[in-house]
Amino acid sequence: MAETSMDLMYDLSEESINLTSSSSAIQSPLQGILAAMDREYEFFVTTEEPHQPEGVERGRIRRVVMRNFFEAKWAGPNNNASENNSASTVMAGKQLKSRFRLSKIGDGKRQTKDKRRDSSKENVKIVKENKQRVVKTDSRPTEGTAAVEQQKSRRTNRKSSLAEDKDATKRRKKNNLNERDKRLLLRISPGVHRFDPFDVLPVPGSPQLDTLFQLYKSGSKMNSIAINAKKTWWSFISEDAGLLHATLATWALYGMLVRGLNDLRVEKLRHKNEAIKEINLKIGVPGGVISDELVGTVLTLASFENLLGSYDAAQLHIAALKRMVNARGGLFAFGHNDGLIRGIMWVDFHNATAFHTPPSFPHIHLDPDAPPLPDRLLEEAACTSPTSLLQLSKASIDCFNIFYRLHRLSLAVSSHWISLVDRLTLSNLLYETEFVVLSVPDYSRGFVDFDQEGENEQDEDYDQRKSSADVASVIEALLAATQIFIYTALRELPPKAKIFTILLDRFHLATKRPEISTREVWKREKNLNMLVWVLVVVCSVAPSSERRTTWISMLSETMREEFISSQDELESALKRVAWTDTYFTPVLHGIWRELQRLQRAEWATVDRATVEQPMPRTVNLLVPEPRIDNDGVDWEYGHDQLNATMGFEDGRWKINGWYI
């Protein structure tokens, strides 16, 4: 290296490490060593290629070179002291070992001597240019001022270098953050759906999938108590494509019925077809087993058909489900999957309700270790239980057992108690109640046969047959209203579901009998208070129609006979049967407004009658009566005012194709 060079180059590893320091000669070897020990060294690391300093590093090199130049100039004439180079080399080596990780020799590329020589020449050239510039512009300082200027220069250079280092560090961090953000943005596609951004579900993502999952998350909480008591259903369905497709098809149908999202019609059919394909694939595997996922897919499709109202198709799925359950060894074979076993039973309950038949699966005891209802709730329920049902002349014990459970269940799901009652307890009680309701024998033939045959009043057993038909109609009306209450208040099924149309037809047939006053029949059975309850329940789901107007009128007359004259009194009467504020409070406001409109209409009728007939004895509401012809009874049906079609098949009566 030339004596005039201001840089010392150290190749201590395969990485080229540029060491910049002053190399001005000192007159004596000892002074040179001491001066070298006092000097500051700046290290610049490069790898594989020659280092091209730019920006901040270039400025630092420039300052160090100029500082070393003036130090050498003020120290005295240059001497060629090899001791200076040796001492500087030893100190620099120690500093490098403590500051850098030096790799082993021979692991990388070395810079060629030509590259080092070119770099040294460039540094010498820069120093010479700076020297000429300084000589031209600056005057030579005196020895007295030289030391002061030297100290000021060092402090200023150190402060400026530290400030620039901090600024450079901040800029590097900011650049690194920006680069990292860019990398993250590139990894996440903007078109990926939000619910499943990493595509971990077994079904492909789409914008419609987001809508279906939003419906799933914001769906009925009460219905989840019946089936998903332990909140294990999502972890079960999210691992199987067929099961998830069947669930999504059901929620697409739910969105159409509740939210009016008719755009989901395509998604409903697509997911249903995909679920059927998955079932066929699993069944077609030679030596395949009946897995929980396969059973869950079949029962979810059966639930889909139930909600759609295709009960014949649902019955086919349930028949296949029964064969699968029997092949697995019965319901207890699914005891490890609580959501699956409850789903099997409730899909069977729904179908049995539509066909008015007992459940297909036997009664089982679910979670006997579930905590009981709170004592305070039981005390409150004991004071308001509907004991009047024990006075029924037939099926009194069955009806009392139903409303004994229903009364406690509705109280437990009210806003005051629901947070204090365990979900498993509610689910078990709801299962027990529905099983008891479906286990009551069918009494519909008892009054339909009597009404259709036109019994002769002169017969000896006419009074007995008439009394039996009357109590049968009361029982069937009670059971129909109970099922409406369970499916609308306790399970929150969509009001447009087909099951409500079937139950309303069943109730209409039991309360609109030819030449028979429903209110008088219930009065003889000493259960007018129960008639108030069933009329409020059916009006809560009945669409605007002439039938609804008839029921509102009947409710008004029954309330008058029970001395109920205010909304609070009506609410108290309902609480003595079965009441849940989360459902009845908004419903009762609407029904009460209709009662007030009807009352104003009655007053207007009275005023007109007073003008036309000054001395009226009574004022009767004009309630439409059924028409009787030679072929049978002609009932009004639905909000479209269609005529009901009666039929007899397999020993049972049908109305509009459905068993009553």
d(CA 14, CA 110): 5
Rounded (10°) CA dihedral 140, 144, 148, 151: 80
Per-residue pLDDT band for 130 (boundaries 50, 70, 90) equals: low
Bigger pLDDT: 626 vs 319: 319
Bigger pLDDT: 31 vs 434: 434
pLDDT, mean of residues 280-304: 92
Q: Which of 473, 399, 404, 469 is nearest to 437 (CA)?
A: 399
Per-residue pLDDT band for 425 (boundaries 50, 70, 90) equals: very high
| pLDDT higher than 90, residue 526 | yes
Segment among 248-257, 371-380, 607-616 with least mean pLDDT: 607-616
Segment among 67-76, 153-162, 317-326, 601-610 with least mean pLDDT: 153-162
Q: Which long-range contacts (CB under 8 A, 24 or more apart) does 352-355 make?
A: 352/438, 353/438, 353/483, 353/487, 353/499, 353/503, 354/306, 354/311, 354/498, 354/499, 354/502, 354/658, 355/311, 355/315, 355/659
Residue 304, token pair as written in the block: 């889909």
| pLDDT higher than 90, residue 101 | no
Bigger pLDDT: 201 vs 379: 379
Q: Which long-range contacts (CB under 8 A, 24 or more apart) does 117-126 make?
A: 119/9, 119/18, 119/50, 120/1, 120/2, 120/5, 120/7, 120/9, 123/5, 123/6, 123/7, 123/20, 123/65, 124/2, 124/4, 124/5, 124/6, 126/62, 126/65
d(CA 124, CA 23): 12
| pLDDT higher than 60, residue 21 | no
| pLDDT higher than 80, residue 422 | yes
Reduced to 3 states, what is the DSSP secondary structure of residue 627?
Answer: strand
Residue 499, token pair as written in the block: 């099951």
Distance of CA 515 to the CA centre of its chain: 53
The DSSP result for 357-411, as a single string, is ---SSPP----TTS----HHHHHHHHTS--GGGGG-SSSHHHHHHHHHHHHHHHH
pLDDT at 491: 92
Bigger pLDDT: 637 vs 487: 487
d(CA 641, CA 42): 98
Max mean pLDDT among 43-52, 233-242, 299-308, 650-659 falls in: 299-308
Reduced to 3 states, what is the DSSP secondary structure of residue 632?
Answer: strand
pLDDT at 174: 61
| pLDDT higher than 90, residue 80 | no
Segment among 45-54, 184-193, 342-351, 478-487 with least mean pLDDT: 184-193
Max mean pLDDT among 3-7, 44-48, 475-479, 637-641 falls in: 475-479
- The sign of the dihedral angle between the CA atoms of 603, 604, 609, 614 is positive
Bigger pLDDT: 119 vs 440: 440
CA angle 296, 299, 304 (to 5 degrees): 120
Bigger pLDDT: 37 vs 56: 56
Place of tokens 């059973």: 295
Listed in sequence order, the residues at least 6 apart from 507 whose beta carbon sits closer than 8 Å to its beta carbon are: 476, 477, 480, 481, 484, 534, 538
Per-residue pLDDT band for 608 (boundaries 50, 70, 90) equals: low
d(CA 389, CA 198): 58
pLDDT at 259: 87
pLDDT, mean of residues 54-61: 71
Rounded (10°) CA dihedral 122, 126, 131, 136: 130
pLDDT at 625: 39
Question: How far from each other are the two terminal CA atoms of the chain, in whole angstroms?
Answer: 111
Percentage, residues of the chain above pLDDT 90: 46
Burial call 251-285: b when 16+ CB within 10 Å, e when fewer: bbbbbbbbeebeebeebbebbbebbbebbeebeee
d(CA 585, CA 595): 16
Bigger pLDDT: 598 vs 198: 598
Average pLDDT score, the chain? 77
Residues 370-404: tens digit of each pLDDT: 999 999 999 999 988 899 999 999 999 999 999 99
Segment among 114-128, 154-168, 464-478, 595-609 with least mean pLDDT: 114-128
Bigger pLDDT: 56 vs 315: 315
Percentage, residues of the chain above pLDDT 70: 63
| pLDDT higher than 50, residue 234 | yes
| pLDDT higher than 70, residue 254 | yes
Per-residue pLDDT band for 605 (boundaries 50, 70, 90) equals: low
Per-residue pLDDT band for 602 (boundaries 50, 70, 90) equals: confident
d(CA 207, CA 73): 76
- 317 and 273 Cβ atoms separated by less than 8 Å: no
**pTM for this prediction:** 0.65
pLDDT at 261: 87
Q: Which of 193, 215, 190, 214 is nearest to 204 (CA)?
A: 193
Listed in sequence order, the residues at least 6 apart from 456 whose beta carbon sits closer than 8 Å to its beta carbon are: 462
d(CA 503, CA 495): 12
